[in-house]
Amino acid sequence: MIAYSLRWSRHNLFGRPFDALLSLTVIPTVIWLIFSAVRWALTTAQWDIIPISFRVLMTGIFPADQIWRAWTAVLLIALLLGAGLGCIFAFQRRHGLLFASLAAICVVLSAAFGFASGGYVAAVLAAFGAAWYAMSTFVAARQFLIPGAGVVIIAIFAVMAPPGVGLWGGLLLSMLLTLVTSIVTLPIGILLAFGRRSRFSSVRLICTGYVEVMRSVPLILVVYWIWILVPVLTPQLSLADVARGMIGFTIFYSAYVAEYVRSGLQAVPRGQVEAARSVGMSEFDINRSIVLPQALRVVVPALVGNVLDIFNAAPLVFIIGLTDFLRAGQMILANPAYGDRTYEVYSFLFLTYFLVGSIITFLARKLEAHLARGSR
């Protein structure tokens, strides 16, 4: 092992004079930064601000007496994501041990440090693992995933709506915005991608124009204009700011999904389409059964990356007065009692965004490898 490490270091870090100089400069700097950050986190930082403000970070200004609604929504989201994961990856023993360990840690933190929401987090982890295990074990249940997902999303909105849609916020708002936008943009993007390949010039021009316009303007402008124009164009229709924000995100990201899907459609060999036509299949059946499955297989990394982009862009909803995860952290720092906890709050926000992004990226790579095995 030592000999292998020395060979690897010599080949990759000190193979040439410039590589050696760069390694001798970068490696000590990175070690010093890591050491300084760990020392600050363990000796100087006052992390009590996180458990104290955890409810605000997770749900924003959602009423404290209705917090069970927010945690119920998180529980339903965990069930949905766990079930979706179980359709792709088999649940293994080490996964169960991981979820059990994380749940136990949350319970211990709740008992030792007054982390009031630790029990809720443990329940969410347990629900995620249980849904993953159930869907991975009972294969016949997978046919109910899509209709079940629709029911779960409706249930989430039904549970969260009574206190007022305008009170949604925190990390939960970012998750809901990402979930709804990711689901809705996929069918719209598929239709736009096929529209750009349509034999009807009017349909082709409309779809092309829509995609090019959306790709030429910034997201924040689209969200702001939807927020302004909806009450002007439909004054009789009262849409909450959250709904208008989701519409803006959907309109914008549908264009990008359309381009991803179109690139996948172009990757499908034309000979397969011609062979399907020769046996009398209709264009609809060809696209549904032959072209689209192969195209989606090709663009899975891009589509998952698009989900990550949506989550990272969620803070832009501050422009229409919504309290997302980042805005919730800023609200905490606006309190004079916590004005000196800037580094702690932003470090927690950074770690959360980094953790979510890393999980999405890891699952995307696993999904890509899984689909690659299925295509061989």
Within 10 A of 249 (CB to CB), how many other CB atoms are there? 26
Whole-number percent of the chain with pLDDT over 70: 91
Listed residue (196, 367, 201) closest to 298, CA to CA:
367
Residues 6+ away with beta carbon under 8 Å from 246: 177, 180, 181, 184
Model confidence at 255, pLDDT cuts 50, 70, 90, reads very high
Listed residue (228, 231, 226) closest to 214, CA to CA:
226
Residue-range domains of the chain with CATH: 65-163 (no CATH), 169-376 (1.10.3720.10)
Q: Treating both helix axes as pointing N-terminal to C-terminal, what angle do 170-196 and 67-86 enclose, rounded to 10 degrees? A: 40
**Mean pLDDT score of the chain:** 82
Tell me: pLDDT of 22 over 70: yes
> What is the pTM (predicted TM-score) of this model?
0.83
User: 88-129 pLDDT, tens per residue?
Assistant: 777 777 877 887 888 787 777 676 655 666 677 788 888 888
